[in-house]
Structure 1
Amino acid sequence: MKNFKNVLFLFLLLTSIFFVKGQKVVGYMDVNLSEAEARADLMNWSHMSDFIYGFITPDNNGNLPDPTGLKLFNDIKQKCLDNGVDLHFSSGGASNSGMFHTIGQNSTATANFAKEIADVMETHGMVGWDLDWEFPRTAAEQISQVNILKAVHDEFTARGKREEWHIAIAVGGETPSVGPQGVYHTDYCSADAFQYIDYLNMMSYDIGRNISGDDNHSSYEDAVNNVIDWNNKGCPISKMVLGVPFYARHKTTRGLPPGSFYDITYGNMSNDDPATYFNQDFKGDYYYNGAPTLKQKVDYIMQQGGVGVMIWEVTYDRFDEYSLLKALHDEMDKYRCDAPEPDLGDDISLCGSSFISLDGGVSPLGGLTFTWKDENGTLVNQSPSASTFNVENSGLYTLEVWKDGCNRSDDVNVTATINTPDLGGPYELCDPVSVVLDAGAIPSGHNYQWQIDDQDISGAINQSFEVKKAGTYKIVISAEGCSSVHATASVTSEVPYAESDTICNAGDEGVLEANEDVNWYELENSESVLFTGSLFSTIANENATFWMAGTGSSLTEYTTLKSTFGSGWSASVNNYGTKITVLSEMSIVGLAVKPSASGTLKLNLKESDGTTVLQTTSFTVSAGEQDVVLDWTGIAPGTYFIDAEGSSMSLIIDGTGADNDFEIPGVLTSEKTCYERWGAAYSPSVNYGFFNRLKLMAGKECKRVPVQIIIDAEAQECLTVSSSYLKDLETKIFPNPSNTFFTLTKFSGDVYMIDSKGALVKSYQNVQNNFTFGDNLENGVYFVHMKNENGISVQKVVKK
């Protein structure tokens, strides 16, 4: 549980302030402003930690322009390199956000946009990207917003850069607590977006007088309310960057000062008396943020655990001693600290131990001191050597690592209860064919026991367990002096299961038993099937791995709807669509259409409202019947419409309904007629529709499952009490395998039948030569334990 604290030396006895990763002062620039180039040369770049280049914006397909051809890009890139400033870029803007919904509702464009962003960042050494979509107002647009952010997150992850490259979104400042307005900027962003971003760039300015009632369009109170409201929306404060303005608006009309665009800036408005305007928030009836308000905002966002501040627009500043950028930099300086960051780890339990040694992972080097605290006060104060501390009682403990008058700290909760792990899930076995459940490291004095369906798994007493078959798995953790705890995970399986077999000697027969009829293979990618059935046996001269797969293909291609077109006429693509109900996840491979003329054919998969586009594909086609490839993947269960709205030509509609509805059991249904729309919504039609030969893929292509035959003469079932006696025995069990009964020859004594799970199935006392048994056994692998006064012998048999 991380806390970062930084205390000014002069105020050590008075206060402590949260230290967060970042302490960012972010300059945001619109490079297209008229004076941007001249002012960029005047700025003190070292007063910024980060810089956002605005804007590099995509086309409707997600393609980005080459930034080296954009205004000031090369110059700004060099300035950032020369001054140690992290370079980001932004896409969008207040008047240039129209393409994002088009991109976000098209999976191909979304993936391409994410790739383009990553390519630009990788090529130019950037560290972040900002989505400035102003604003995704509808639910559909917010789905597109999340689609884009997830795609960028996944692309960064795939390139191994997710920790290094950062994702931000810009959001508005007219939020509920600022003042009543009906619809708020918090309504223009999905909470689902927050999981994919690192920074929330809050545009806490341009707030209307009729909303906040403040003279200032970006007051301190409005900033506080913004943070509260976006946090209530679901965004952690640790991701928030508070926007601050370097420009003014009228206190009542919120209009801009008369004159050129740059006349709204603090830099120009303050020219006649810089010292005065630097220390106040207004000039006449026009309000901005002077240095005192900016410093107050820095203190607030940092003490709340935020990331820092973002400036719109950074070139609006002065470039002398009355620079607002300098004021922000200087105020942020007290939140910077060179002390190393301790890490006390996750909450820990005293159960099973008389004490626990806490260690923050910081070595006692020159210049460092260590302070340990609990909830009642200081335990060790400013020690140069106390990098660890032993605790005997539960409670909240804090380690502060001090250097040069500031500290970073971490807390850990020491409990008197066993920590309950999270096993995750539910899981499905298919690809991969097994999953490792992990309960975390085993603390001293703790005991672990894994179970399946509430039954102990023999020997499964470690922190992790590899699951290869379906069931409800449980980890039970116990420790002396504490109540046991448990956690469960549900596992389903689309693949067969078999235990590995252990034989005693090379040349023995190994038998593998699956829980269903399977195809057995010699190699993972073999095409030739060795055997089909649940029991597979072979003579093994060395350790061997065989592979099994279900006997039926789990991924199947289907074709539905009519196979040929009937009589019809040329109809508008805006009026007809085919309704499908998807019953299990599937992909649409393609379908057949009959354009009335050549042109661009656009096919769409829409939600049940008949309006929201989920996937779309365009083609250049000629007139006449033809099959087209769609490759629409990942279609979840639900109701959808397929239409051709947006095509440049009409399509031939089949006017004769099918004899019956179409159905692929468990996969898809579609009615025998299409739907038509002459107003806002689709309704059933008497016509069949535009589309034939709908091809789709459903099911899952699972991996093959490896199963081993292991030669181990030291295995338990291979050991005997009197090996010299057993070597001379001529005891035999035949036939083996058997589909009826077994006969045991040349043995007298007791016989015990053990199944492959180690359970006693049957016992026989004082059997004699030519003893028959096993006619009532279920099919499977068994171990026959033969015992008399001379020793014990074990032999494996197979009942088919």
Structure 2
Amino acid sequence: MKKSSILILALLSILFMGACSPQKKTIQDIAQQPYIVAYLPTWRMPYTPDWDKITHLCLAFGFVNADGSLRMEEIIKNKYIIEEAQKHKVSVLLSIGGGGSKNFAPAILDAETRTALVNNLKKIITEYNLDGVDVDYEEWEGGPNGASEKDIECRTALELLYKELREALGSTKLITAAVNAGWDNGGGFGLYNCFNESMHQYLDFVSLMIYDETGPWSGERTGPHSDWTFFEKAIDHWLNNRKLPKEKLIAGVPFYGYHFLSPNDATGARGIPYRDILTQYPDEDAHLQDSIGLLYYDGIPTIKRKAEYIKQHQLGGIMFWEITQDTDIAEKSLLNTIYNVLR
């Protein structure tokens, strides 16, 4: 057989094998942008997402201990979801930290325990064939000028964590962050300086949590927790003040609302999943609204507008907390709305 014929057969064989093998997403594959990033809490599992409508799944949470070890019991118990997602070409990240985290700060402030945390994460990512890690650090104090003195120390340590993770994991694994989206609104207290513009070099994307501007913690401030002004100002802050490249900016939206008991007192406000809002207000066309009385949330028109903004401004994508809070009713689904605009 001629060499040219052998070469052709070899090339056809490679193409055939490639067509039959599952194609793994890589961090360089930005053609899939805008991304659709879903959080899935372990306490809501078992749950089967609509795989075709998301690009990334963040499993929440691996809890960080002060010595750099991780509490992974719930993740391990639900590890089936990792292989299932990857069969559908959805990248799976272990999300560490979260709103209830207590021991993340001491773990990263000490060089020895930070190294232990990096090593433990590398081991877990390798053992469970995860696509990367999502860092949701929320142990900030805040203050009149944004970050407190301790927050400045944690900000430096957090960037070191990103740097050391990148060195340990290389370029083949994703490293992402979920961050408070707050901007300086002149209100006298905030978290708007708790991150810097040099951290982005180690991260594949940054998810802005553009929600929870109001809630049970907000004193006399009630009303929308994720309104349009907050959305635009947060994105502007991160693009222009934090210098986040637009292709790395993932804008977060809520799949839940807050119901306040008084127009001037947030105490006692309770969170309600979007699906439950539709159930509790069946005659209100709740999916087409953003508020019913003292209940505030994002309905379909606002989610659609935000998704269109992301597409128009060529941002990296959209994130939401969290996927199980959506409705199963196709025409009222927030995820379906996002998918129809972005994909």
Look up the match of 2:192. 186
Look up the match of 1:106. 110
- For the 8 Å contact 1:118–1:155, the answer to whether it is kept is yes
Amino acid at match of 2:90: V
Query: What is the aligned counterpart of 2:40 among 21, 26, 29?
Result: 29
Look up the match of 1:144. 157
Deviation of 1:173 (Å): 2.7
How far, CA to CA, are the matches of 1:250 and 1:51 in structure 2?
28
- For the 8 Å contact 2:63–2:72, the answer to whether it is kept is no
* 2:53 is aligned with 1:44: no
Deviation of 1:154 (Å): 1.0
Amino acid at match of 1:289: D
How far, CA to CA, are the matches of 2:124 and 2:85 in structure 1?
16
* 2:210 is aligned with 1:204: yes
Q: TM-score, normalising length from structure 1?
A: 0.35
Look up the match of 2:136. 132
Amino acid at match of 1:230: W
How far, CA to CA, are the matches of 1:284 and 1:66 in structure 2?
40
* 2:230 is aligned with 1:219: no
- For the 8 Å contact 1:24–1:50, the answer to whether it is kept is yes
How far, CA to CA, are the matches of 1:254 and 1:26 in structure 2?
30
Deviation of 1:142 (Å): 1.2
CA distance change for structure 1 residues 71 and 113 in 2, over 3 Å: closer, same or farther?
Answer: closer
Look up the match of 2:334. 324
Look up the match of 2:86. 81
Structure 1 gap segments, 5+ residues each: 1-18, 334-800
How far, CA to CA, are the matches of 2:248 and 2:192 in structure 1?
16
SS in 2 for 1:185: coil
CA distance change for structure 1 residues 64 and 245 in 2, over 3 Å: closer, same or farther?
Answer: same
Deviation of 1:79 (Å): 3.2
Amino acid at match of 1:225: K
Once the two structures are superposed, residues 48-99 of structure 1 have per-residue CA deviations (whole angstroms, 9 ceiling, x without a partner) of 11110001123222223456x6365223224313433211111111121x33
SS in 1 for 2:79: helix
Q: How does 1:225-236 map to 2 (within 5 A)?
A: 225-231=233-239, 232-236=241-245
How far, CA to CA, are the matches of 1:332 and 1:181 in structure 2?
34
Higher helix share: 2
How far, CA to CA, are the matches of 1:22 and 1:120 in structure 2?
27
How far, CA to CA, are the matches of 1:254 and 1:198 in structure 2?
36
Amino acid at match of 1:171: V
CA distance change for structure 1 residues 60 and 327 in 2, over 3 Å: closer, same or farther?
Answer: same
How far, CA to CA, are the matches of 1:256 and 1:279 in structure 2?
26
Deviation of 1:116 (Å): 1.8
- For the 8 Å contact 1:171–1:185, the answer to whether it is kept is no
Query: What is the aligned counterpart of 1:267 among 268, 275, 285?
Result: 275
How far, CA to CA, are the matches of 2:268 and 2:52 in structure 1?
30
Aligned length: 297
CA distance change for structure 1 residues 286 and 73 in 2, over 3 Å: closer, same or farther?
Answer: same
CA distance change for structure 1 residues 143 and 299 in 2, over 3 Å: closer, same or farther?
Answer: same
Look up the match of 2:21. none
Deviation of 1:215 (Å): 3.5
Deviation of 1:29 (Å): 2.1
Look up the match of 2:17. none
CA distance change for structure 1 residues 256 and 274 in 2, over 3 Å: closer, same or farther?
Answer: farther
In the TM superposition, structure 1's runs of 4+ consecutive aligned residues that sit over 6 Å from their partners are none
CA distance change for structure 1 residues 255 and 268 in 2, over 3 Å: closer, same or farther?
Answer: farther
Amino acid at match of 2:287: F
SS in 2 for 1:175: coil
Amino acid at match of 2:256: Y
Look up the match of 2:183. 175
Look up the match of 1:310. 319
How far, CA to CA, are the matches of 1:72 and 1:296 in structure 2?
38
Structure 2 gap segments, 5+ residues each: 1-29, 141-146
Once the two structures are superposed, residues 760-798 of structure 1 have per-residue CA deviations (whole angstroms, 9 ceiling, x without a partner) of xxxxxxxxxxxxxxxxxxxxxxxxxxxxxxxxxxxxxxx
* 2:166 is aligned with 1:153: yes
How far, CA to CA, are the matches of 1:20 and 1:205 in structure 2?
28
Higher strand share: 1
SS in 2 for 1:187: coil
* 2:68 is aligned with 1:62: yes
How far, CA to CA, are the matches of 2:71 and 2:139 in structure 1?
23
* 2:123 is aligned with 1:119: yes
How far, CA to CA, are the matches of 2:283 and 2:83 in structure 1?
31
Instruction: Work out which of the two has the higher radius of gyration on C-alpha atoms and give 1 or 2.
Output: 1
Once the two structures are superposed, residues 119-143 of structure 1 have per-residue CA deviations (whole angstroms, 9 ceiling, x without a partner) of 2222222222111111344221112
Q: Which has the higher contact order (CA 8 A, sep 6+)?
A: 2
Determine what percentage of the aligned residue pairs are the same residue.
21
- For the 8 Å contact 1:21–1:307, the answer to whether it is kept is no
Deviation of 1:255 (Å): 5.9
Deviation of 1:309 (Å): 0.9
SS in 2 for 1:130: strand
Deviation of 1:149 (Å): 1.1
Q: How does 1:497-646 map to 2 (within 5 A)?
A: none
CA distance change for structure 1 residues 274 and 235 in 2, over 3 Å: closer, same or farther?
Answer: farther
Amino acid at match of 2:323: V
- For the 8 Å contact 1:218–1:289, the answer to whether it is kept is yes
How far, CA to CA, are the matches of 2:328 and 2:87 in structure 1?
19
- For the 8 Å contact 1:298–1:331, the answer to whether it is kept is yes
Once the two structures are superposed, residues 660-710 of structure 1 have per-residue CA deviations (whole angstroms, 9 ceiling, x without a partner) of xxxxxxxxxxxxxxxxxxxxxxxxxxxxxxxxxxxxxxxxxxxxxxxxxxx
CA distance change for structure 1 residues 110 and 170 in 2, over 3 Å: closer, same or farther?
Answer: same
Q: How does 1:455-494 map to 2 (within 5 A)?
A: none
- For the 8 Å contact 1:27–1:48, the answer to whether it is kept is yes
How far, CA to CA, are the matches of 2:187 and 2:103 in structure 1?
27
SS in 1 for 2:303: helix
How far, CA to CA, are the matches of 1:20 and 1:298 in structure 2?
17
How far, CA to CA, are the matches of 1:256 and 1:277 in structure 2?
22
Once the two structures are superposed, residues 387-432 of structure 1 have per-residue CA deviations (whole angstroms, 9 ceiling, x without a partner) of xxxxxxxxxxxxxxxxxxxxxxxxxxxxxxxxxxxxxxxxxxxxxx
Deviation of 1:313 (Å): 1.6
CA distance change for structure 1 residues 72 and 282 in 2, over 3 Å: closer, same or farther?
Answer: farther
Q: TM-score, normalising length from structure 2?
A: 0.78
* 2:97 is aligned with 1:92: yes
How far, CA to CA, are the matches of 2:191 and 2:339 in structure 1?
29
Deviation of 1:290 (Å): 1.0
Once the two structures are superposed, residues 474-497 of structure 1 have per-residue CA deviations (whole angstroms, 9 ceiling, x without a partner) of xxxxxxxxxxxxxxxxxxxxxxxx
How far, CA to CA, are the matches of 2:268 and 2:253 in structure 1?
17
Deviation of 1:303 (Å): 2.3
